[in-house]
Amino acid sequence: MAARLKDVLVVSVEQAVAAPFATMRLADAGARVIKIERPEGDFARAYDHHVHGECSWFVWLNRGKQSVVLDFKQPGDAAFLDRLISRADIFVQNLAPGAAARAGFASDKLRSRHPRLITCDISGYGEAGPYRDMKAYDFLVQCEAGIAAVTGTPEEPARVGVSACDIGAGLNAHGAILEALYARSQSGTGDGIAISLFDGMADWMNVPLMHHLHGPGAPGRSGLSHAMIAPYGAYPVGAGGRIVIAIQNEREWARFCAQVLGDAALAQDSRFCSNALRVANRGEMDALIALCFAAHDAESLGALLLKAGIAFGRLNEVADLAA
């Protein structure tokens, strides 16, 4: 990656995932990122010890950074951090609610002293409202924002298998910081950014929310299927394993019927001639697809789907990703 941010200095009082993800992306683009840790260290260091004795999360999220240990309660350390910030282009923090301000590093006060500074505060639930003082972790926000309610099986909700709320907040912070850097290049003045894990996930939930407000209700949990699109899911193949397909429009459905299922008339079958009808008759449709797929192994079926221009993939394990 080109070092497009090579002259940018980032000072980040950060922990866990959200802020480290944002500053990792800045470091990837060439920024100098100084990560400030408390004497006990970023608690993400202790999640596991799988990567040569280091935590997998910490190794992933902190590449390309410099780490400095400071105790804000010590006047000398607080003064040192203040001097670092005075030289910085960007200050990021995702401590517990109010912790940075209590330590003397409230973002508005920092910007009043350093007008070119861009500050980014990442919190769970925002800086106003009844939840502002609540600590927040990824799983809690997945539940509060309704992500878990639309994830999993009909019988049981589930947590998304990666830290979607933290990563989403980090992406939002990264994008907002880049926007602020561009704005500063025009105005000469920095800006204050506030990122909330909850707000980001609430935005991602807009389609289920609109179904709830304007449609028949929020979509149900559907495992590896899609509550609103069909065919869309994982189907067993003859020699073991599963192939996943996603049909997005009627042209694809017609090609799938003619070139993969071998029955062009199915595209106009009254049970399947629109997406809504395929969703309503998913059981019958899935049975026809399963019968066809069972006659192929993954390789031959993949070749058939590719030739027909149908989007597909394999249901891989983590070991397959690593291969």
pLDDT digits (tens, 9 = 90+) for 148-197: 999 999 999 999 999 999 999 999 999 999 999 999 999 999 999 999 99
Give yes or no: residues 102 and 19 share one domain.
yes
Indicate if the pLDDT at residue 321 is higher than 90: no
Residue 222 has pLDDT above 80, yes or no: yes
Q: Is 139 exposed, middle or buried (0-12, 13-18, 19+ CB in 10 A)?
A: middle
Is residue 128 pLDDT above 90, yes or no? no
What average pLDDT does the segment 112-141 reach?
94
Q: What is the mean pLDDT of residues 301-322?
A: 93
Instruction: Assign 289 to helix, strand or coil.
Output: helix
Q: Please report, for the domain that includes residue 92, its CATH number.
A: 3.40.50.10540
Q: How far apart are CA 119 and CA 190, in angstroms?
A: 8
Residue whose C-alpha is closest to residue 278's, from 211, 227, 219, 207: 227
Asked whether the predicted pLDDT for residue 2 surpasses 80, the reply is no
- 297 and 161 in one domain? no
> How far are the Cα atoms of 89, 122, 157, 267 from residue 12, in angstroms, in the given order?
11, 11, 35, 56
- Give the integer Cα–Cα distance in Å for 207 and 225: 16
* pLDDT for position 262: 96
1: pLDDT strictly greater than 80: no
- Same domain, yes or no: 76 and 180: yes
pLDDT digits (tens, 9 = 90+) for 240-294: 889 999 999 999 999 999 999 999 999 999 999 999 999 999 999 999 999 999 9
Share of the chain above pLDDT 90, in %: 89
Confidence of residue 323 (pLDDT cuts 50, 70, 90): confident
Do residues 147 and 88 share a domain?
Answer: yes
Cis peptide before 20 (omega within 30 of 0): no
| pLDDT tens string 27-55 | 999 999 999 999 999 999 999 999 999 99
Mean pLDDT of 106-111: 97
- What's the pLDDT at 205? 96
Quick check: is 3 in a domain? no
pLDDT at 126: 92
Identify the band that residue 129 occupies on the pLDDT scale cut at 50, 70 and 90.
confident
- Positions marked catalytic: 226
Enter the tokens of residue 31.
Answer: 């920024």
Q: What CATH number should be reported for the domain holding residue 266?
A: 3.30.1540.10
The DSSP 8-state label assigned to residue 256 in this structure reads I
Q: Is the pLDDT of residue 94 over 90?
A: yes
Give the residue from 168, 186, 204 where a domain finishes.
Answer: 204
Judgement on whether residues 308 and 244 belong to the same structural domain of the protein: yes
Total structural domains within the chain: 2
Say whether both 194 and 257 belong to one domain. no
Residue 239 sits in which domain range?
232-322
What's the rounded Cα separation, in Å, for the pair 110 and 106? 6
